[in-house]
Amino acid sequence: MPTITWKTESGAEISAEVAEGHTLMEAALANGVDGILGDCGGSLACATCHVVVDDAWVTAAGSPTVLEEDMLDLVEAGRRPNSRLSCQLRAHAGLDGLVLYVPGA
C-alpha cells in the first residue's frame, strides 16, 4: 500500500498507508487530517477536499478532468498551481511517498 503524507499550514504532518483504489479524500478523513471535509462524499460538488500536490509529484498525480477543473475555481483557500480535489485522486503504487499540502488548515 502506498504511503501518503498530508502537511497542513499549521505544521501538522500525518502519514498513512492507503489501500490502492481508495480516494485520498477518504483516506484523509479516516486519518483525521485537518481541513479536509469531503462534504459531498466525493461527487465533485463541494470543493472541500482541496489539496496542493508537492511539485515532485505533479506528474505522478496526473491531470484534473474538466469537471474537476471547474470545481477547483471554487476552493475556499484559493486555487494554487498544483491544486487538486483529493476525492479525485486514488491511491496506487505509483503514489508511494506522495506529499499533499492542505491549504488553510
Window 15-74: residues binding ligand FES (CB under 6 A):
25, 38-40, 42, 44-49, 71
Choose between 56 and 65: whose C-beta lies nearer to ligand FES.
Answer: 65
For 6, residues 6+ apart whose C-beta sits below 8 A from its C-beta are: 12, 13, 14, 15, 28, 31, 33, 36, 51, 100, 101, 102
- The cell numbers describing 6, all together, are 498530508
**What x-and-dash track marks residues 78-97 binding ligand FES by CB under 6 A?**
-------x-x----------
Residue 31: which of 53, 54, 13 has the closest Cα? 13
Residue 98 binds ligand FES, judged by CB under 6 A:
no
- The cell numbers describing 84, all together, are 487538486
Choose between 56 and 105: whose C-beta lies nearer to ligand FES.
Answer: 105
Interface contacts to ligand FES, rule CB under 6 A: 25, 38-40, 42, 44-49, 71, 85, 87
